Amino acid sequence: MLKMDLEYRNFKRYKREILFVRLKGSLNKKTVYKIHTYLVPVLKKHKIENLIYNFKSLESIDESGIDAILFTKCMVKKYQGNIFICNVKEELESKLRRLKIKTFLSEARIIKNFGAKNEL
């Protein structure tokens, strides 16, 4: 089972808008449809440029899940945006290395990075 919480926030201070995607459960062949059914249309409709995945409550991910994350990465890049992952558990970290997505310890660290750099 996979639960997905979406939160859209506008950070006027950094002139950035961010879509937070918090995943809970397992992202696998049986649950990956939720990314394609719920998240992808939001990315397309609103042309989301900054996406943060929070994996704090993600228990497992398989190849289908990794492919879905890569697909969303390509969509965000199409809008000249950035994608990040935070709160990655050690057991998932090795699976996610090939994604070549910056990882951070927390959402707060990513937001703080907005102020440190002009790009995320």
pLDDT of 98: 74
The 3-state DSSP class for residue 48 equals coil
- If you average pLDDT over every residue of the chain, what do you get? 88
pLDDT of 118: 43
pLDDT of 14: 67
> In the CATH scheme, what is the homologous superfamily, with its name and number, of domain 2-116?
STAS domain (3.30.750.24)
Complete DSSP assignment for 55-103: EEEEEEE-HHHHHHHHHHHHHHHHTT-EEEEES--HHHHHHHGGG--EE
| Whether 58 contacts 24, CB under 8 Å | yes
For the chain, give every domain's residue range: 2-116
The string of pLDDT tens digits covering residues 51-92 is 999 999 999 999 999 999 999 999 999 999 989 999 998 888
